[in-house]
Amino acid sequence: MTEAKIAPSLLSGDFANLEHEVGRMLHYGSDWLHVDIMDSQFVPSLTIGPIVVKAMRSHFTQEKAFFDCHLMVMNPEKWVDEFADAGANMFCFHYEATEKHMEIINRAHERGMLVSCAVKPDTPVEVLDPLVQHLDMALIMTVEPGKGGQSFRSECLPKVKYLRTRHPNLDIEVDGGLSPKTVDAASDAGANVIVAGTAVFKAENPTQVISELRNSVLKAQEIKPWAKK
């Protein structure tokens, strides 16, 4: 059984105070920290790169903080070594951003990272079929990548169900518009890794939101709705 993991997205945090933001998210009970890397080509925005991951890593050991790095960049193959050197735990690249899928997966594994491949809302999930046996995780985007605070797109969830029915032990992450209101649909489809930016960072009680997100996954895993016809 895949474990429930909650990954607050630092994109909604205070970029001038990332050590504090990582520390408080860990204190609130988050499992992973989701780090959104944008290059102004694959998506319009420009955020941070490996230098910032490295700076965060210098404050938190590998055991303490798991950095789930979501690269919304063209040609992610250029960045595998730098993210490994920076101390990233998960190297998540977009299917649409490269043709060198297997090269990236192999190199990231060689460098000791876990690897995930992400698909945008309009990309069919079947593109992952040849890759999935080599992946540690798949990321089904539930918004168009590029910014936080967008509305959750439930029409992406059949892709989660497609993967879950075929791969009971794969980590399946959803990202975009997740909150206590929308998470049940994603959990019921089979997602076990939940990214949440706005919902956690803007919450009055982030501990409670993280716990609600986790409970949604745990509840769905008891019932296994995806196993039903």
197 binds ligand DX5 (CB under 6 A): yes
Write out the DSSP string of 68-80: EEEEE-S-GGGGH
Cβ proximity to Zn ion, 39 vs 130, nearer residue = 39
The Cα-based distances of 167 to 121, 129, 135, 170, 220 in angstroms read 20, 11, 11, 5, 16
Rounded to the nearest whole angstrom, what is the least distance from the CB of residue 151 to ligand DX5 in the complex?
Answer: 8
Lookup: tokens for 93? 């690249």
Cβ proximity to Zn ion, 36 vs 171, nearer residue = 36
198 is in an annotated binding site: yes
30 binds ligand DX5 (CB under 6 A): no
Q: Which of 13, 57, 68, 70 binds Zn ion (CB under 5 A)?
A: 70
36 binds Zn ion (CB under 5 A): yes
Taking CB under 5 A as the binding criterion, the range among 64-72, 80-88, 178-186, 211-219 that sits at the site for Zn ion is: 64-72
Stretch 101-160 residues interacting with ligand DX5 (CB under 6 A): 143, 145-150
The Cα-based distances of 128 to 34, 124, 137 in angstroms read 21, 8, 11
Cβ proximity to ligand DX5, 6 vs 220, nearer residue = 6
190 is in an annotated binding site: no
CA-based radius of gyration for the chain:
16
36 catalytic residue (yes or no): yes
Of the residues 31, 36, 171, 188, only one is catalytic, namely 36
175 catalytic residue (yes or no): yes
The Cα-based distances of 8 to 125, 160, 171, 179 in angstroms read 24, 20, 16, 11
Q: Tell me the C-alpha distance between 77 and 160, whole Å.
A: 25
Cβ proximity to Zn ion, 190 vs 197, nearer residue = 197
Q: Tell me the C-alpha distance between 27 and 147, whole Å.
A: 25
Lookup: tokens for 92? 């998540």
CA distance between the termini of the chain: 20
**Beta carbons of 224 and 22 less than 8 angstroms apart:** no
Cβ proximity to ligand DX5, 40 vs 165, nearer residue = 40
Could you give the 3-state DSSP secondary structure of residue 11?
helix
Number of residues that bind ligand DX5 (CB under 6 A): 22
**Which residues are the active-site residues?**
36, 175
Contact positions toward ligand DX5, by CB under 6 A? 9, 11-12, 34, 36, 70, 143, 145-150, 175-178, 195-199
Contact positions toward Zn ion, by CB under 5 A? 36, 70, 175
Binding residues for substrate: 9, 70, 146-149, 177, 197-198
Binding residues for a divalent metal cation: 34, 36, 70, 175
